[in-house]
Every structure is written in C-alpha cells, then in structure tokens.
Amino acid sequence: MLPAAGEPAAGDSWGMLACLCAVLWHLPAVPALNRTGDPGPGPSIQKTYDLTRYLEHQLRSLAGTYLNYLGPPFNEPDFNPPRLGAETLPRATVNLDVWRSLNDKLRLTQNYEAYSHLLCYLRGLDRQAATAELRRSLAHFCTSLQGLLGSIAGVMAALGYPLPQPLPGTEPTRAPGPAHSDFLQKMDDFWLLKELQTWLWRSAKDFNRLKKKTQPPPAAVTLHLEAHGF
C-alpha cells in the first residue's frame, strides 16, 4: 500500500518509488512527523495482553488452592484424567497453521466466545464445602475474567468488529445430570481449570500477534514535508 506522500509524479512509478525511498531514508531528519489522530487499538490490545498475563498469574494460585481442596490425585503433577463431561468446554488447542491463518476478527471472536463460556462454567461452580477464602478467590477470579471479556470487547469495537451474540439454546449449562457423581464433578472442575489455563496461554500469543499486526508501519504515516530536497 502506498503512503500519502504527496502527489505522485505523473506516469513515473519508478520515480515515485525513488521518491518514496528518499523520503524514508530522510525520515529521521524530518522535523515535523505527525501521526493522524488517535493511537488506534494498540493500547487496548496491549492492555488485554497484560490482563491475560495477570489472569494467568491469578489462576495459578487459585488452581493450586482449588486442586488441593479436591485432594490427591487431582493436585498431583502429571495428573491427566479422562475428559468426559468436559466435552462442551471450548478447546484452546488448535492446529498451528489454522491458528496462524486466523483473521483478526475470527481470532478475537474465538477468544471472546471461549471466555464467555468459561466464565459461565466458573460461575456455576457450586462449592459449598470449600472454605470462605477459596470461594472469595473464585469470585475474585470471575470478576477479573469479566474484565478480560470487557477488554476483548473493547478491542473488537476499536477494530470495528461486531460482538458475537449468543444464539438462544447454545448457552452453556453446567447443570449436571441426575447421575452426575461428585467424582465426575471433580474431574469436570479439573478440566475447567486446565482449559482456562490453556486459553490464557493461547490468548497471550493471540494478542501479541495482534499487537504486532496493528502497530502502524512507518510507511503508513502522513508526513509533513519540510525536509530539504522536496
């Protein structure tokens, strides 16, 4: 894409290119370098990235406490139970090529929908037997997760993408069936926490990628040509 570097010399594309190169070469010498208007979605993408790192940190301590509450073997490293009822959880892992080729809108939408679902499940965690402190930590984490959703929504709005609306009937319900035993519930809890962690890892990479994409390349800047030679 060509920058708005003034009127191109008529008919001479090579000349235009030379002109462009010269402009870029002299860039540091140009005193008045004005960017157009607002900073764009950059700061909010950065904030969202920072938020995923913060949540990751929060989750680490929450998960540690929660898994201790579930008791061994749930809190043992390398524990990998069958993934049964957790089929409806949004999966973070995806084919690398697919991930790379996601367009911004899809990338953001997947993040938004995933956290909406995960938040819903997290809220449905009914752990009356847990200590008051653990319940408070859970509530606090839910609030932070809500903040993340808001942040992602902000980025989507800044980039002009519509927020995904939940279709009626696709709301995740975590109501266990009548035969849902306590142990199965524990396994569901385990996978919920694990999926949350994987999503936060993935989101950090998603937003890092978005950050790089939306950083305006130098050529896209409008120049006030006060530099010598023009």
Partner 1 sequence: MPAGRPGPAAQSARRPPPLLPLLLLCVLGAPRAGSGAHTAVISPQDPTLLIGSSLQATCSVHGDPSGATAEGLYWTLNGRRLAPELSRVLNASTLALALANLNGSRQQSGDNLVCHARDGSILAGSCLYVGLPPEKPFNISCWSKNMKDLTCRWTPGAHGETFLHTNYSLKYKLRWYGQDNTCEEYHTVGPHSCHIPKDLALFTPYEIWVEATNRLGSARSDVLTLDILDVVTTDPPPDVHVSRVGGLEDQLSVRWVSPPALKDFLFQAKYQIRYRVEDSVDWKVVDDVSNQTSCRLAGLKPGTVYFVQVRCNPFGIYGSKKAGIWSEWSHPTAASTPRSERPGPGGGACEPRGGEPSSGPVRRELKQFLGWLKKHAYCSNLSFRLYDQWRAWMQKSHKTRNQDEGILPSGRRGTTRGPAR
Residues that bind partner 1 (CB under 8 A): 60, 63, 67-84, 91, 93-96, 99, 127-130, 132, 181-184, 186-187, 193-194, 197-198, 201-202, 205
DSSP, collapsed to helix, strand or coil, labels residue 48 as helix
How far apart are CB 32 and partner 1 at their closest, in Å? 42
Name residue 38's amino acid: D
Give the single-character DSSP code of 223: B
State both tokens at 155: 């980025």
Going from the C-alpha of 66 to that of each of 129, 138, 192, the distances in angstroms are 12, 9, 12
Nearer to partner 1, 38 or 78 (CB): 78
State both tokens at 198: 């994987």
Name residue 167's amino acid: L
Nearer to partner 1, 21 or 84 (CB): 84
How far apart are CB 174 and partner 1 at their closest, in Å? 17
How far apart are CB 191 and partner 1 at their closest, in Å? 11
Tell which residue, 94, 40, 96, has the closest CA to residue 210.
40
Nearer to partner 1, 115 or 223 (CB): 115
Give me the helix-helix angle, 182-214 and 42-70, nearest 10°: 160
Give the HSE-up count for residue 203: Cα atoms under 13 Å, Cβ half-sphere: 32
How far apart are CB 161 and partner 1 at their closest, in Å? 24
Residue 199 CB burial class (10 angstroms; 0-12, 13-18, ≥19):
buried
Name residue 155's amino acid: V
How far apart are CB 68 and partner 1 at their closest, in Å? 8
Sign of the alpha-carbon torsion through 25, 30, 35, 36: negative
Nearer to partner 1, 67 or 119 (CB): 67
Nearer to partner 1, 91 or 224 (CB): 91
Nearer to partner 1, 34 or 181 (CB): 181
How far apart are CB 180 and partner 1 at their closest, in Å? 10
